[in-house]
Amino acid sequence: EVQLVESGGDLVKPGGSLRLSCAASGFPFSSYHMNWVRQAPGKGLEWVSSISNSRNYINYADSVKGRFTISRDDAKNSLYLQMNSLRAEDTAIYYCARVPGTRAFDLWGRGTLVTVSS
């Protein structure tokens, strides 16, 4: 089955760190650009970060630049998001999403919840 499954979400204190994972299956993971998108409680979708299939292109939203790091392990069919210096405003459901040749997210996971609170 073609799917993305996120994990690693948890309750963490402000200033803390967390590493999210996204396991891909059913498609050639190494061929696709991958992204993280989040949704804060009661808010809309917000793009967080992207990594190209070759790892040559990595981008971050201004709101997370310098604090979050995206990476991928094609041998493990996995995408990661290392989140440091977490803030209350980082509280959200984090989704991983696939981008094929078109500029659109054609496959999403169901998300993992990150809560930043003391």
Partner 1 sequence: QSALTQPRSVSGSPGQSVSVSCTETSSDVGGYSYVSWYQHHPGKAPKLMIYDVSKRPSGVPDRFSGSKSGNTASLTISGLQAEDEADYYCCSYAGSVVFGGGTKLTVL
Minimum distance from residue 13 beta carbon to partner 1 (Å): 26
Q: How far is the CB of 108 from partner 1 (least distance, A)?
A: 4
Interface residues toward partner 1, by CB under 8 A: 4, 35, 37, 44-47, 50, 59, 95, 97, 99, 102-111
Burial class (CB in 10 A: 0-12, 13-18, 19+), 61: middle
- Residue 16 vs 108, nearer CB to partner 1: 108
* 69 contact partners, CB below 8 Å, separation of at least 6: 81, 82, 84
Total length of the chain? 118
Coil/strand/helix, residue 102? coil
CB of 37 to partner 1, least distance (A): 8
| C-beta of 16 vs 77, nearer to partner 1 | 77
